[in-house]
């Protein structure tokens, strides 16, 4: 089956039409994510990110629907009340960008133009005051998660997941200085260009070091793939696992990892493989858990080395705060007094 961006867009429109026809609670739907780009595929696989807006304040949880082994729908549901203060959305590091430039697919009630007009009012969405507001909020999330790591007695999968979530927010706090946040699969692939865009290339090396890239070679990641894939398939059948560990997403991650391993920055694949493996490890035991622990040990994210990583993350967040203060001072803005 030949799949193109155009055919995926057609599937998106047909999906929205069917859902809206059968669910009167849906008042709007829009496309977001990689399909907005000219080249949405990574390793020949992609998802279709659609957000449904509901009248009710109790929308459905996130859904994944398999189309083919390499393509699936990623359906999110938001309540209309989340958009009740559009001007405040300009300072939201996630929803602000999500609503700034999506593709409208369906609208039953007129609210989309109003929300976008408020977001774009005065053309100041990407100017330093609002940009820094979003970046500081993102970094604050990372710092709050970091605080929880100091009391950890053991680097369990749940604790390592928190560490990676804190690092994810810190990396994206830098990324949002020059554009929208970067999502999981492309995090380390796209971050170097974002760091370079704000004249902070050294932050790329720091981010890679904090995930343990300095401890492994690309060949080792390739050797981990069979154990990772086995863990993914097993975890996706268990209750209580993170929603992203879904049977429809095996190829979505695996093909991205292989494409990056064959690319110019092979260790960019490390985030995708180890992050998803950590989500799986939360619900695994026995040999499957041990395989993850072996990988975590190799990366310095388990045992005695883990606390050094936590300390390194603290320093990374501090350095980002200094960058924000420099930008604020250069633009005559208030300098934050800390998190």
Q: Is the pLDDT at 26 greater than 90, yes or no?
A: yes
Q: Identify the pLDDT of residue 75.
A: 97
What's the whole-number mean pLDDT along residues 237-248? 96
CB count in 10 Å sphere of residue 154: 9
Tokens of 40: 């949405």
- Contact (Cβ atoms closer than 8 angstroms) between residue 131 and residue 90: no
- Contact (Cβ atoms closer than 8 angstroms) between residue 119 and residue 100: yes
- Contact (Cβ atoms closer than 8 angstroms) between residue 193 and residue 171: no
CA dist 275 → 141, 143, 282 (Å): 18, 19, 11
CATH topology of domain 5-123: Beta Polymerase; domain 2 (3.30.460)
Q: Identify the pLDDT of residue 335.
A: 74
- Contact (Cβ atoms closer than 8 angstroms) between residue 187 and residue 274: no
Average pLDDT, the chain: 93
What's the whole-number mean pLDDT along residues 117-128? 81
What's the whole-number mean pLDDT along residues 320-333? 94
What's the whole-number mean pLDDT along residues 51-61? 89
Tokens of 291: 């395989």
Q: Identify the pLDDT of residue 336.
A: 66
Q: Identify the pLDDT of residue 304.
A: 85
Q: Identify the pLDDT of residue 114.
A: 83
In this prediction, residue 338 has a pLDDT band, given cuts at 50, 70 and 90, of low
Q: Identify the pLDDT of residue 117.
A: 82
pTM for the model stands at: 0.95
Lowest mean pLDDT among 2-6, 177-181, 255-259: 2-6
Lowest mean pLDDT among 48-62, 112-126, 220-234, 314-328: 112-126
Domain boundaries, given as residue ranges, for the chain = 5-123, 128-320
Say how far apart CA 125 and CA 43 lie, in whole Å: 33
What's the whole-number mean pLDDT along residues 86-90? 83
Q: Is the pLDDT at 337 greater than 60, yes or no?
A: no
Say how far apart CA 134 and CA 310 lie, in whole Å: 24
Using the CB atoms, write b or e for 52-64: b if 16+ within 10 Å: bbbeeeebeeebb
In this prediction, residue 184 has a pLDDT band, given cuts at 50, 70 and 90, of very high
What's the whole-number mean pLDDT along residues 47-67? 93
In this prediction, residue 60 has a pLDDT band, given cuts at 50, 70 and 90, of confident
Q: Is the pLDDT at 301 greater than 70, yes or no?
A: yes
In this prediction, residue 3 has a pLDDT band, given cuts at 50, 70 and 90, of confident
Q: Identify the pLDDT of residue 116.
A: 84
Q: Identify the pLDDT of residue 178.
A: 94
What's the whole-number mean pLDDT along residues 273-302? 97
In this prediction, residue 111 has a pLDDT band, given cuts at 50, 70 and 90, of confident
Report strand pairing: 63-68 vs 103-107.
Answer: unpaired
Tokens of 158: 């749940």
If we measure between CA atoms, which residue out of 27, 32, 50 comes closest to residue 107? 27
Q: Is the pLDDT at 150 greater than 90, yes or no?
A: no
H/E run at residue 46: strand 46-54
Q: Identify the pLDDT of residue 263.
A: 95
Q: Is the pLDDT at 96 greater than 70, yes or no?
A: yes
What's the whole-number mean pLDDT along residues 47-70? 93
CA dist 35 → 68, 76, 104, 113 (Å): 16, 15, 13, 21
H/E run at residue 75: strand 71-79
């Amino acid at each position: 089956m030949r799949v193109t961006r155009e055919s995926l867009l057609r599937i998106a429109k047909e999906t929205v039409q069917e859902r809206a026809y059968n669910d009167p609670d849906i008042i709007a739907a829009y496309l977001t994510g990689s399909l907005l780009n000219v080249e949405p595929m990574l390793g020949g696989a992609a998802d279709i990110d659609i957000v449904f807006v509901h009248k009710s304040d109790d929308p459905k949880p996130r859904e994944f629907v398999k189309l083919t082994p390499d393509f699936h729908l990623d359906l999110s549901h938001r309540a209309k009340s989340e958009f009740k203060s559009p001007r405040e959305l300009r300072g939201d590091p996630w929803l602000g960008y999500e609503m700034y430039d999506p593709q409208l697919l369906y609208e039953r009630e007129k609210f989309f133009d109003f929300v976008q007009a408020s977001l774009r009012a005065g053309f100041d969405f990407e100017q330093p005051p609002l940009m820094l507001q979003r970046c500081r909020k993102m970094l604050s999330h990372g710092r709050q998660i970091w605080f929880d790591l100091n009391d950890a007695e053991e680097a369990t999968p749940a604790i390592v997941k928190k560490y990676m979530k804190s690092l994810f927010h810190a990396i994206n706090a830098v990324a949002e200085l020059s554009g929208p946040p970067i999502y999981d699969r492309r995090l380390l692939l796209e971050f170097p260009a974002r760091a370079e865009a704000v004249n902070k290339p050294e932050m790329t090396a720091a981010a890679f070091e904090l995930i343990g890239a300095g401890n492994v070679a690309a060949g080792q990641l390739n050797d981990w793939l069979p154990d990772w894939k086995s863990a993914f398939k097993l975890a996706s059948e268990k209750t209580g696992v993170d929603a992203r560990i879904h049977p429809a997403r095996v190829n979505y991650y695996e093909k991205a990892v292989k494409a990056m391993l064959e690319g110019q920055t092979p260790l960019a694949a490390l985030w995708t493989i180890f992050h998803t493996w950590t989500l799986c490890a939360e619900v695994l035991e026995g040999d499957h858990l041990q395989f993850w622990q072996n990988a975590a040990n190799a990366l310095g994210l388990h045992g005695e080395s883990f606390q050094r990583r936590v300390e390194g993350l603290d320093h990374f967040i501090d350095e980002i705060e200094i960058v924000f203060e420099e930008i604020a001072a250069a633009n005559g803005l208030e300098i934050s007094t800390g998190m």
